[in-house]
Structure 1
């Protein structure tokens, strides 16, 4: 019988049963990333440089630590995981090289994609908000555009 009396013991059970004892280090950092992204939904909280430093400092460091743990614990299984089951032997080397390149590019994509999406979203919201200072007609146009997008998305 498993007794769970609070959230910490529930997360501990989850880690022991599902993730086979991974420490809370990744959980805390991923929760920090989630909270950081949620805070950026509030107005006047976005910082261009701080966000880039945060992404590079957290996401890249987490990826490199995961890479080192996997690569140095068992090198053969690390590279064997790049080749899917059922791959013909004559293209295994090419598939392994392609997956290795993809694995190297992955942290760059993990840093750039949220950086570009959130930055453009924040700057776009500022630009749309500033249009309302130019003319009151823009407020009406933006309200109509909002309802158009809501009703088109619901279809």
Structure 2
């Protein structure tokens, strides 16, 4: 690896230590997610549609690719993973059905949970910011609340 400056060597070290030689696809995807979440911390930059399409594209594509890889590599191992080791024989069917339903619902939950959390966070931030226009006392309350949260985070 050619070291041009400290930033290049830092990125190279992160790439080697975290991804250990995997393709830059994962690195670019993680950086895209990081930048998207950081942009959503700015007021009025949130878009329902863009965020939902992004989440659906990332989570659904990864879920389908993982599903296809596991099914085509070893079908028996895939279906055997629905019944944990040590499960009594008389409840294997119920556990298998429950695990199958959980496996099918997982991508929906992985799409909805961040969508709801970040949506409510963005709209809550806007609502709190708009309180400052009502009265100047809200600014003082928000500053005190901010320092309280920082104090709690430090402890």
TMscore range, shorter length: 0.7 to 0.9
Query: TM-score scaled to structure 2, two decimals?
Result: 0.78
Structure 1 unaligned spans of 5+:
none
Q: Deviations over 1:96-146 (max 9, x none)?
A: 111110000000000000000111100000000000001101111112222
Structure 1 residue runs of 4 or more that deviate by more than 6 Å after TM superposition? 1-22
Bigger mean CA deviation after superposition, 110-119 or 41-50: 41-50
Bigger mean CA deviation after superposition, 101-110 or 68-77: 68-77
Do 1:4 and 1:10's aligned partners in 2 also have CA atoms closer than 8 Å? no
Q: Deviations over 1:50-83 (max 9, x none)?
A: 1011111121111111112112221110011111
Question: Quick one: higher RCO (CA 8 Å, sep 6+), 1 or 2?
Answer: 2
Bigger mean CA deviation after superposition, 48-57 or 64-73: 64-73
Change (3 A) 1:51 1:83: same
Aligned residues: 155
Q: Deviations over 1:37-61 (max 9, x none)?
A: 2332233321111101111112111
Bigger mean CA deviation after superposition, 78-87 or 105-114: 78-87
Match of 2:19, SS?
A: coil
Structure 2 unaligned spans of 5+:
none
Change (3 A) 1:18 1:42: closer
Match of 1:134, SS?
A: coil
Change (3 A) 1:19 1:154: closer
Aligned to 2:75: 75
> What are the equivalent positions in structure 2 for 1:44-55 lying under 5 Å apart?
44-55=44-55
Bigger mean CA deviation after superposition, 91-100 or 35-44: 35-44
Do 1:82 and 1:96's aligned partners in 2 also have CA atoms closer than 8 Å? yes
Deviation of 1:29 after TM superposition, in Å, equals: 3.1
